[in-house]
Structure 1
């Protein structure tokens, strides 16, 4: 899913994509209960058809049901979404975004996480030199 496609999803379409990404694949009976204030099965099927028409999901017949899968890897969509958040809310600055995250009381990083982050920073420095 490109950044442009992702930005043009309705709230419900985004919620459905979230369920599919979290599960890896899902049918209507698995998607519907994963949604806040779940719509009817018919509404979920209609939204899945729209997502298919937008090129965001594929479907495959499995018994009597269709199984839906995202067309784009979760990591790629996550990278695009993160870039959009950084651009929109932090003036394109990763430093500001990370600083904002670390400033919250919820950002309790373990020593292992800090070591891995430091290793990523060190690697980025080596690539820049």
Structure 2
């Protein structure tokens, strides 16, 4: 089975709006986005159709409107996007990504504590 194409930044933003609303028309998404910037109805319509084609959303005609709702969970789409990112930039290796984030972005003391807890938990699970 061929891998689904990764979502663009704009597609991910539109998908998040539909996930947050549960169900949305093109107009609903336009209203949310117009709070922060100018958006074109046709552009949002195109993004929603692409998301349907990519299997992230499903469309249902209700009266004269097409209502979009989630077909996949956000966690799956995020997992696929991260896997695609790690494969393209780091040859499928997660450690170089973590090294990059720690060296370039830095972590706060609280984030470091959380990371240590995650590592300890992962190590304990691996020992069982």
Q: Specify if TM > 0.5.
A: yes
2:121 maps to which residue? 123
RMSD: 3.2
Gaps of 5+ in 2: none
For the residues of structure 2 that align with 1:53 and 1:83, how far apart are their CA atoms? 20
- Note the C-alpha offset of 1:103: 1.6
Count of matched residue pairs: 121
1:38 maps to which residue? 39
2:93 maps to which residue? 93
Equivalent residue of 2:13, what SS? helix
Alignment of 1:1-129 (within 5 A): 4-7=3-6, 15-24=10-19, 25=21, 26-32=24-30, 34=33, 38-39=39-40, 41-60=41-60, 65-104=65-104, 106-111=105-110, 113-129=111-127
For the residues of structure 1 that align with 2:48 and 2:121, how far apart are their CA atoms? 41
- Note the C-alpha offset of 1:22: 4.0
Gaps of 5+ in 1: none
TM-score (norm 1): 0.68
TM-score (norm 2): 0.68
For the residues of structure 2 that align with 1:3 and 1:67, how far apart are their CA atoms? 28
Please identify runs of 4+ aligned residues in structure 1 that moved more than 6 A.
none
